Structures are given as structure tokens and as C-alpha cells.
Structure 1
Amino acid sequence: MSYAMSVLLGRALPDVRDGLKPVHRRILYAMHEMGLASRKPYRKCARVVGEVLGKFHPHGDSAVYETLVRMAQDFSMRYPLVQGHGNFGSIDSDPPAAMRYTECRLDPLTEAMFLTDLELNTVDYIPNFDNSQKEPSLLPARVPSLLLNGSSGIAVGMATNIPPHNLGELVDALSAIIQNPDATLQELLEYMPGPDFPTGGILMGNDGILEAYRTGRGRIVMRGKTVMETIDEKTKRTAIIINEVPYQTNKSTLVQRIAELVEDKVLEGISDIRDESDRAGMRVVIEVKRGANPAIVLNNLYRHTALQSSFSCNMVAILDGHPKLMGLKEILQAFLDFRCSVIERRAKFKLSQALERKHIVEGIVIGLDNLDAVIQVIRETSNHTVAKEALAKEYGLSEKQAEALLDITLRKLTSLEVAIYRFHLSHN
């Protein structure tokens, strides 16, 4: 049971607050520590993987690299968290290049969404695996990443499968809850009508979505996006063009499956199929035989292939240290509670910094008001420690104030610099 719980909490399930599993959190934090900002040059993925393994995540390098690759794939993540440079795979399940060839850096959205205010004591830090340094137990997320990019994982005795959503719709739903904490699920659906998958497609009906948002479990039916094109004006021959496929559908496997069904005569009315996809986008052409009804052919494609598939929602995440099945409103409320604590901790940290600075400036102003006497005290002492003690005793200064007074350089004694110190004190 203890091992099962460690798998749940430390590997397979995301936290409802920042929406990340430990491996995602550690990769982003390691890249942040390495200075791989979105405006800095790319660095080899092997270097990032080594940093994560050596400092935070003592598991296999392939597991870390696969996670890093997925975070850079725009067909896997609704909003990629990492910018990749090189071969990071494709929707046809082509493997990525080895980590010694690929390069990466943080995405601007990741910096704004996860890493802002990290240094302002907004989250707790915990020891890493060998107690040699600290790592954040959470990242101070500014949007609910659990719903933004979704999550999937298999643990011991339970699993999670959460669909991704649109950022604008998610923010609108959060705003609605902030303005009206008693908002019903139906009211939230006006702002966030359903998931938003990175590969596009069409959602069929909203019963499954409503059930998933209400209970945490539901089945969402997805269809690929198709258009009809006339390819021969004389013979009026038509082609079905597939521009988008359901989420997590392998395009090359789909094309191969259609070809096999045509060969086995399960699908009729198709004369040719070819994949014309390129950098501009997806385009799979299915030519319909002369005399065949394109609508019937398309319905058979939906029936027999992955052009229509389903996404089984199972919205399980860690809340208060325990795995829990949650609906939409409970997830949003848990995030808002976390965000409030982050803002409160940030305000307390900034206030403590301001009070500490005020304390130092007050000591410096006392010293400047008695400048000649202070210089005389310093000249009469034998070393730094004695001078600090003498100043503290003479003028009632704290140790930090006396230290700051001794650190003042001669150029700080100009009339302009003294006026600046007095200005800061009067405005604190």
C-alpha cells in the first residue's frame, strides 16, 4: 500500500494546484535554473535530461526525455511548455531524434504561467532525493494547467485522463467563479462549452461533456474534420478530404487501416487514398468511385475507422495529498484557493523585504545625521567587528543597521545621495 501511494503521489497523478506531475515540474524547474529562457539560445536536450536526473529525478533517462519531447509537441499538448529545435516526432508517431541532437528552451507561456514569482517565497521547497539541495513542491501556476493541457497517467488501482481546454475559455470560466462563487455548472458551460483538442476535430453532442464536468467521468465522442471536393468536373467525381483527426489518433495508421478495409471490401465506394500532408497542414485525400454516394462512404469511415473515436474522461488528481475524482467546478475552486495562497505569500514576502529595507535606511539616516561623530568612532576602533559594536552601542543601531552604515562608500556621502536616502525613508 505504501508503494502504491508513492506511485500515485510521486509519479502517475498530477497535482490539482499546478496541474503537473513531478517529472514535468522538475524538468521546468531544472530548465529555469539553467537559464534556458525563451529569449536565450537553445541548449541540447541531453544537457537538460542530465541536469534533471542528477539533481531531482533519479529514474531512467528515456522516461525524462520522452516527457520533455511530449512537452514540445504541438499535436500532444494544447499549449506546448517547451520550444523544441530539431526532430521532435510527428503525428504519424515518427520517433524523435536522440537527445544528443535535439535542442530546447522554455516557452514564453511557460515562463509567464509557471515560473513567475517563484523566487518570492510563493511555494514551499522540499529536499531533493539525496538531500543535497531544494526543489519546489509546486510551481506558482497562474492558470489551472490541469485543465489547460490535460493529463493522463496510469497508477496502481486508478488512472487519470483529463482533456485539454482553450486558454481564453478557461480564464473566462475562472472569472465567472470569482465574480459569482455560487455559479452553477450550466453557467460555467456558457464560458467553457467543452474541451479543445490540439489536433482539432469536432465534438459530437454535449451529454458526455456535461457528465464529465459534473461527476469527473464521461465519454466524449470526437470526429475528424472533413470537406468534400470535386476532383473531376466532367465525371463529377468527388473526394473526401480529411483536414483534422481526433485527438491521439495516428494519421499514418488511420490511412493504412482505411486501405486495408478497402482491400477487404469492408469499405466500398473508394477508388484511391493518398496522404498529401505537408508543412502547411494535414490533407488526406480519399477519392470516391463514380456513382458512389460520398455521404454514405463518409459514414462508413466514421463507423469502421478511428476517424470517429471517443475520449474517456476520468478526472482524477491529487487534492490535499490524496487522489480524488473531481468535477469541473471543484477543480477550478481548488486552483483558485491555491492561487489566493500564492498571492498572499507573495505580498507577505514583498512586505518583509520593504520593512527590512526601511529598517536599514533608518539606520543609515541616523548615521548620516551624525556623520562626523560616526567617522570619529570608526577611526578610533581597531577592526571591523569592534567598529560595528561601537556604532550599535553609541546610536542604538541593530547589527544589520551598523553593518550597512559601515558598508557605505565615500561617494554615497554626497548631498544628492543623502537626499535620496531621506526620500526613501519618507516614502516607506
Structure 2
Amino acid sequence: MARRPATPDLPPEDLVEKIVDIDVAAEMEGSFLEYAYSVIYSRALPDARDGLKPVQRRILFQMADMGLRPDRPYVKSARVVGEVMGKLHPHGDTAIYDAMVRLAQPFSLRLPLVDGHGNFGSLDDGPAAPRYTEARMAPAALAMTGDLDEDVVDFVPNYDNKLTQPEVLPAAIPNLLVNGAAGIAVGMATNMAPHNLVEVVAAARHLVLHPDATLEDLMRFVPGPDLPTGGKIVGLDGVRDAYRTGRGAFRTRATARVENVTPRRKGIVITELPYTVGPEKVIEKIKEGVQAKKLSGIADAVDLTDRQHGLRLVIEVKAGFDPDAVLEQLYRATPLEDSFSINNVALVEGQPRTLGLRELIDVWVQHRIAVVRRRSEHRLRKRLERLHLVEGLLVAILDIDEVIQVIRTSDDAEAARERLRTVFDLSEPQAEYILELRLRRLTKFSRLELEREKEQLESEIAELRGILADDALLRTVVSDEMAQVAATYGTPRRTILLESAGGSAVTGAAAAARSSRGVAAPLEIADTACWALLSGTGLLARTASDEPLVRTPQTRRAKHDVLASTLATSTRAEVGVVTSRGRLVRLSMLDLPALPPTDGAPSLGGGVPVGEVVALEPRERVVALASLAADAPTLALATAQGVVKRVAPGDVPSNRDAWEVIGLKDGDEVVGATHVADDDELVLVSSDTSLLHFPATQVRPQGRAAGGMAGIKLAAGQRVVTFGAVTPALVPDAVVVTVAGSSSALPGTQSGSAKVSPFEAYPGKGRATGGVRSHRFLKGEDALILAWVGTAPAWACGSAGQPVELPELDPRRDMSGTALPAPVHAVG
């Protein structure tokens, strides 16, 4: 440690630098806790009583202090921001202005508290700078700040202890429920849906007069949220969960109707959008869906919104398409249907809590009871003081001549005050008030006014004492004031509540499950049996019927006619796709195009690329289709490193869209998957031509998280190139296709040689052995680049789907292949 040079004036010990050793972990923990505390209590979470965050509360209080009432002129927003920042909120002006803008946006708050003049933004664009906009209090803000001068709430010092600010606003409006809230703190967040003021007040009044009311009683008054932008809420089970526990979710839909947009064309007209969704976002998603061929039947989408007619999005439908079916498609693929997650976290007595509907209403009711009680006490105290002064003034007026004489003969004001108290038996405040009395108050008319005022004060005092003495009467006053607020500021409900997508009362669990996964059937599609198809070139489709897939000479030359995986299902079912990363991704059959039969078999030329309907990670590919039915056979998988696994049936999460079905080691990937029964033969082919097959019973079913077991013993540097299964009954018709080439060549650039041999030619062996050779390499060949095991006949295609001729069946298993006319991309 360095020292400063010593001087004769200072002792040596004072010249040494003083360094305090602290524990970094303890310091970081303490600092982070202080930061978290500040964010939670002073920034992100609202108070359950007035439903405001500190910055919002300070904005409304400062605007009230500035006299910016609804009947006063607007002032620059920058002035309000400056006053709030300088006196109450020592943070950035941007944060204050953003909070004030949200208080003024009718699409963000169900009952705006700030009346904004100018560009205060939209769902798609931000507001203008504060120097360009003006603001004043909205009418509802008067109810939030009313009675502040009557000691109804506690005041606390501001940041520099020079001014005071209310700890909470009186809040005659249940703002937290009516306007909702959103905020992200440290370790917690809040997201609350807006509600209708009239409904919430009705429930609050019921709770005021019936303190033992249950949640079900209150839900008769508050059936669900009422969003500022209207729309429809589809499925109410999530709402009920949120009302019970404070957490839940629901789906919102746009309000749409089918109209004739031109004499010869129908269209879909959107007049209300889901909460927080803007028209530009919807149009952008529609255009992206059309370009990606996810949406069909749409000719154009235009925004005709204006101030006169309000929101109006027009989506033109092509001729020959059912508008209702197109609308259902839009609900699935665009923000015209969106989800909202409820997380009712708010501060109660300074502590963050997750609140249900009854707790939220009860906190506000108790706050209003406390406000009315404190206001009544304040008014009683003020009226008693005024009555005391009026009584003294009446005494003085009755004998005013003597009062004047006493004052005129006194040496000074102090002597006059004492003589008045002695002569007329007055208190010090009464004597002081008489000394300050003006001569014009000595008329006969003034005496009558004082007598009427005394009677009025005595009546009001008796009324206030009655309110404070009787809890039932106090609650009646609170209930009546709530009713007055609802009558003054209430508006009709905007959001329609539906038990299900069709509006009928359905089983809650089924509706919630279907809604949460976005599964909705177009109206023209019935739930009929069909086949799900995966082509060798990565196209997905479904058949229009459950007719068997038949190959004919005419379809042999059709493009995209190699089926890598097929699955019997129905048009409104869900299936899974197994990926090379060991994931099973949920897929709705309604997302796949239906292919009509062509000469006895479907052509996959109209299929949709896998990447457009399945969210894949980089370098991840789909290897097979899988059933999600609980009674489906076990799913068998194999990896490039020779691991094989059977997934236990029925192990399918109902609330997830993707999950792992095998735990992969680093560098490993899934090469194949198929459903198998216990008597099936599992087949693995490695890059060094080894083929191994063994009964499926040698692989016991495991859970989703398991990593499987050894399937084939691989030589150094080798990998599994294909995996399949053969049913015993189909063994005579099963064939093995192997394609050999150079391992150093770029994929898709070499034709190689192929061999087709019967599966019966390969003897079976036990699991975890090396298998038998299935292909003899020619000169320049050192690896199998492709293999396939299945029922004859086998077909091959190139990377663009063009057919590639395979050689005739060779009964010998350990033989060389025949040169191919073109590179083979897939066999099926």
C-alpha cells in the first residue's frame, strides 16, 4: 500500500491511506436488495387502494395542486412534467411523460384520468414530444383527488423534505380494477385487466352492505374484464381462475362481420381489436401470412380508420372462398385473436400480494370506509369549531353596545380580549373572533343569518356524529357515494364475454385447452378421417379423405411423390412432428393444406414447407410424424450415435406445444422415429453398411427425459444413417434400400450407387451388436449416404422432388450397388 511522504506537521499515522475491507458478496446483496426494494415499492407496482404507481399518483396530485381542472384551459405537458419532476418525482422527464401519456390514452385505460390535447400516440405510434402536447385533468381524476384537503389520507415528505405529498389518493373510483395495471419489478410483475366501472361499483356496494359476501356473489356483478378497445373474450375459465387465485389467462378476439365490400365481392370488416393490438400490426401479419402462403383466400387488406367512423379494417375475400372460414383462419394466424395473462400483484399495507377479485374489491372498500370516516371526523371538528365561534358572535350581537364600550375603554387589544372573556364569559377564540369582527356584520339581518347558520351547524354535527357512531350508517354513506360515482363516470360494457369460441356454454377445460393452443376449425372443414403426410423434401400436407395411398404408373413421375412419413388421423386432430433435436412439436392438422387425390394417390406438390408451420431451431429438421393420442403405440427413436429408445405411451404434456422425447448427448441427433408394437422388428443401418434388426421387446419404454439405451455397436467414426421398423406380417414385402458414395463429397452433388434387397436376407441379432454388412462399396465409395427400410415398392426423388429410378430388386444382401442416374435426396 503506497504512503504519502511524511511531513513534520502531521503525525505519521494520519498520513496512511485508510482502506476499508468489505465482503463483495455482502455488498452486492445489500445493494441489490435496496434496488429491488426501490423498484417494487417506488416504481413498478401499484397500491391496491388507489391503483396508482408513485409516478402516476404524483402526476395527478400535482395537476390538482396546479388547478388544472377539466373546466380550466389546457397547459403544456412539459410544464406538468417539470413541476412533477422538480417537486415530487426526482427521475427522468421521459418516465414522467410516458406515465402521463398512458393516463390520457383511451385505448390503454378504460377510464382515462388525464385529458390530453394533441398527439398522445396510438397503438402503433408513440406520442409527440411534451412541448407539442397539452393536458389537464380528466373528469374522473377529480374523483381520484377529491377531499384531499379534508385530512382523508396521510401526507409524507417529498424527496428533499421540503414539501409533502399524499401517501395514497382518496380514490373514489376503484381504479386498480377499472383501469388495470402493468409493471415489471424485480422478481415479480403485475398485469391486470381493465373492468367496467358500473359492474365493479355494484360488486363493491354489495360487499359494503354484505361484508361476508363470497366470490361467487361478487362474480354475479363482475362477470369478466371490460377492455377499452372492446372485442370479445373467448373462454371464461381463465378469468374465473384469476378471480379466485389472482392468476389466469384468457383469449381476446376482434369484433368482425362479413359485408359486401364491392357489388361482387364480400369482405371481413374489423371494428374492434384485441386489447393492446394495433391495426398496423394486424395488416402487417396478414400480408406476411399471405406471402408465406399461411393465409389463403385474401385479396387485400386496407385500414379505413378515421375519426368519424372509428376503427375499420377491411379484408377483401377472394371469390370462391367462404368468408367465415377465412375469418377463422385469420383468428389462428394473426393478432385478431390474442391472449392476455392476468397476474394481480399489488401493494397491500406496503407488501406485494397476489389478489383475487374479492380481495381487490375489499381493499378498495376498506380504503373508502377509512376515507369517509376520516373526512367525517375532519368535518365534525371543523363544524364544532365554527359553531363555537357563531355562538360567541351571537352573544356579542345581543349586547353589542356593551361590547363596543368594553373595547373602546380597553388600553390595547390584549386587554380588550381579556375583558371580553371576563364580562361575557367567552373563550379566547371567541373573543379574538369578535375583535376581528367587521361593523357590517352588526346588522339585524346578520343576526338572522347567524341563527340559521347555528341551526344548520347543529344539524350537520348531529348527522356526522351519527355516521361516526353507527358503522351501518357509515357503510350506507360509502355505498351511496359509490353509486354516485358510477352514475357520473360509468359507461356501458364494451367487451362481449363468450364461454367458448362459438359463444355457447361448453365444458370449461375443453374450451380452455383448445383456445390456449389456438386450435379452431374452419367452418367448411368437418372432422373427417384423413392422412397426415411428410414428404422427403420437407413438405407437410393432409389428404382430403382416408382413402389408402396407392401408387400407380401415372403418379410415379409426379413431383414430390416420396412419402417419408404418414400418419392416420382426422382433419381437426393434433399430431406431433419429431425433430432431429429430439423434440416433439405439436401441430394442428388444420394448419396443413388438403390435397385432393390425383390418379389414385395424392401429389405433395401443394404441400406447405415444414418451417412455415413448425418453429424449428437452426439446423434442426423434421424426421417423422407421430401420434399424440393416448392409445397410440409406443414411439421408437434412434440417434446417429446408435442409441435407441421407446417413449412410454400417453406421456404427452397437455399444456405445451413442444417438449423433448429423448435426452441427447452432445453432438448426437435423432435420425428416425416411428410407432412400433412389441412384436415389430427395429432396424438400424450405419454408414459402414452394417444393418442390425432385433425385436422391439428388447427396448423397454422409458419416460420423456430418459436418454435411451444402446441400439447398435458402431465402429470408430461411423454413424447411424437410418432407422425404421418392420411388422412381422409385412416382412416378406419389406425391402432395404442403400445408397453408397464418398463421405468427402458435398451433399447432393454425387449420384452414387444404390441397391434394393429383400429384408428377409438379413439375419437378426441382439441389441447392441454390430449387425451384418448390407452393401459392398465400389471404387471411390467409402460410406452409405442414404438408406431406407420399408414395404415395397420403394421410390426415390431428388432435392427438387423429381423422381429418380432405383435398380431392380437384388436378392443378395452383400453386393455392390448400381450407379444412379441422379443424386437421391430421399427414399420413401
State how far apart, in whole Å, the 2-side matches of 1:297 and 1:423 are: 74
Whole-angstrom CA distance in 2 between matches of 1:262 and 1:423: 79
What is the match of residue 417 of structure 1? 446
Distance 1:190 1:319 in 2: 25
- Structure 1 SS opposite 2:358: helix
Specify every segment of 5 or more residues in structure 2 that has no aligned partner in the other structure, as ranges.
1-32, 459-828
Question: Counterpart of 2:86 in 1: which secondary structure?
Answer: helix
1:96 aligned counterpart, secondary structure: coil
Is 1:114 paired with 2:144?
A: yes
Report the Cα offset of residue 272 of structure 1.
1.3
Does residue 1:408 correspond to 2:437, yes or no?
yes
Q: In the alignment, which residue of structure 1 is the partner of 2:167?
A: 137
Match of 1:146 in 2: 176
**Aligned mate of 1:353, from 382, 385, 408:** 382
Amino acid at match of 2:393: I
Tell me the SS of whatever aligns to 1:191: coil
Secondary structure of the structure 2 residue equivalent to 1:130 = coil
What CA deviation, in whole Å up to 9, does each residue of 1:156-188 have, x standing for no partner? 110000100011111111122223323232232
* Residues 214-258 of structure 1: CA deviation (Å, up to 9, x unaligned): 000001111111111123444xx3211111111011221221121
SS at 2:116 equivalent: strand
Deviates more, 1:44-53 or 1:296-305: 296-305
TM alignment of 1:44-193, pairs within 5 A = 44-92=76-124, 94-111=125-142, 113-193=143-223
- In structure 2, which of residues 387, 398, 402 is the aligned counterpart of residue 373 of structure 1? 402
Q: CA deviation at 1:91?
A: 2.4
Q: Separation in 1 of the partners of 2:238 and 2:155?
A: 39
Corresponding letter in the other structure for 2:433? A
Deviates more, 1:183-192 or 1:128-137: 183-192
Indicate conservation of the 8 Å contact 2:76/2:132, yes or no.
yes
Residue 264 of structure 1 aligns with which residue?
292
- The aligned amino acid for 2:361 is L
- Pair 1:398 & 2:422 matched: no
The one-letter code sitting in structure 1 at the alignment partner of 2:421 is: A
How much is the aligned-residue C-alpha RMSD, in angstroms?
A: 1.5
TM-aligned CA deviation for residue 420 of structure 1: 2.9
Question: Quick one: structure 1 residues 426 and 70, their matched pair in 2 at CA, closer, same or farther if it must change by over 3 Å?
Answer: closer
- Equivalent residue for 1:227? 257
Q: Secondary structure at the match of 1:119?
A: helix
Distance 1:425 1:241, change over 3 A: closer
SS in 2 for 1:381: coil
Tell me how far 1:426 sits from its aligned partner.
5.1
How far apart are the structure 1 equivalents of 2:433 and 2:262? Answer: 85
User: CA 1:86–1:173 in 2, change beyond 3 Å: closer, same or farther?
Assistant: same
CA distance in 1, matches of 2:369, 2:183: 28
> Contact between 2:152 and 2:170, CA under 8 Å: does it hold in 1?
yes
Q: TM-score, normalised by structure 1?
A: 0.95
Q: Secondary structure at the match of 2:295?
A: coil
CA offsets per residue over residues 248-299 of structure 1, 9 Å max, x none?
1122122112101111111112121111111121111111122223233222
Q: Does 1:10 align with 2:42?
A: yes
Counterpart residue identity of residue 186, structure 1: E
Contact persistence 2:230–2:272 (CA under 8 A)? yes
- Structure 1 residue 399 displacement after superposition: 2.1
- Counterpart-to-counterpart distance in 2, 1:56 and 1:385: 43
Q: Deviations over 1:43-99 (max 9, x none)?
A: 11111111101111110001111111111111111111111111111222x221111
The match for 1:338 is 367
Matched residue pairs, number?
424
Q: Distance in 2 between matches of 1:179 and 1:395?
A: 49
The 1-side partners of 2:132 and 2:342 are apart by 36
Q: Cα deviation per residue 1:8-32 (whole Å; 9 max; x = unaligned)?
A: 1111111111111111111111111
Among 69, 72, 78, the residue aligned to 1:40: 72
Secondary structure, counterpart of 2:353 in structure 1: strand
1:24 pairs with 2:51: no
Unaligned stretches of 5+ residues in structure 1: none
SS in 1 for 2:149: coil
Q: What amino acid is aligned across from residue 104 of structure 2 in structure 1?
A: A
Q: Deviations over 1:296-345 (max 9, x none)?
A: 32222111211111110000001011000010001111111111111111
Which amino acid is the alignment partner of residue 397 of structure 1? Answer: L
Query: Which stretch of structure 1 is more off in the superposition, 209-218 or 100-109?
Result: 100-109
Aligned-partner SS, 1:323: strand
Is the contact between residue 74 and residue 136 of structure 2 (CA under 8 Å) also seen in structure 1?
A: yes
Counterparts of 1:383 and 1:166 in 2: how far apart (Å)? 65
> Partners in 2 of 1:231 and 1:270 — Cα distance?
13
Q: Is the Cα contact below 8 Å between 2:343 and 2:354 reproduced in 1?
A: yes
Q: Distance in 2 between the 1:268 and 1:249 partners?
A: 22
Cα distance in 2 between the residues matched to 1:424 and 1:191 = 43
Larger RCO (alpha carbons 8 Å, 6+ apart): 1
Q: Distance in 2 between matches of 1:129 and 1:405?
A: 43
**Which of the numbers 332, 347, 352 marks the counterpart of 1:323?**
352
- Quote how far apart the aligned CAs of 1:423 are: 4.1
Could you tell me which of 198, 217, 235 is aligned with 2:228?
198
Distance 1:340 1:110 in 2: 19
The structure number with the bigger radius of gyration is: 2
Q: In structure 2, do the counterparts of structure 1 residues 58 and 374 end up closer, same or farther at CA, with 3 Å as the change threshold?
A: same
Tell me how far apart the structure 2 counterparts of residues 207 and 263 of structure 1 sit (CA, whole Å).
36
Task: Identify the structure with the greater strand proportion.
Answer: 2
Match among 308, 312, 331 for residue 302 of structure 1: 331
SS of the aligned residue for 2:135 comes to strand
Q: Which moved more, 1:291-300 or 1:168-177?
A: 291-300
Q: Determine helix, strand or coil for the equivalent of 1:388.
A: helix
Distance 1:8 1:375, change over 3 A: same
Whether the 8 Å CA contact 2:43–2:54 is kept in 1: the answer is: yes
Partner of 2:491: none
- 1:269 and 1:420 map into 2 onto residues whose CA distance is 81
Distance of 2:94 and 2:235 partners within structure 1:
39
Contact 2:174 2:197 in 1 (8 A): no
**Partner Cα distance (2:452, 2:126) in 1:** 62
Partner Cα separation in structure 1 for residue 267 and residue 382 of structure 2 = 67
Aligned to 2:136, the other structure's residue is in SS state strand
1:289 aligns with 2:318: yes
> Which deviations, in whole Å up to 9, do the C-alpha atoms of 1:373-392 show, x marking residues without a partner?
32222122232233223323
- How far the C-alpha of 1:396 sits from its partner, in A, is 3.4
Q: Which amino acid aligns with 1:97?
A: A
Partners in 1 of 2:455 and 2:243 — Cα distance? 54
CA distance in 2: counterparts of 1:163 and 1:425, whole angstroms: 50
Q: What residue identity is the alignment partner of 1:385?
A: E
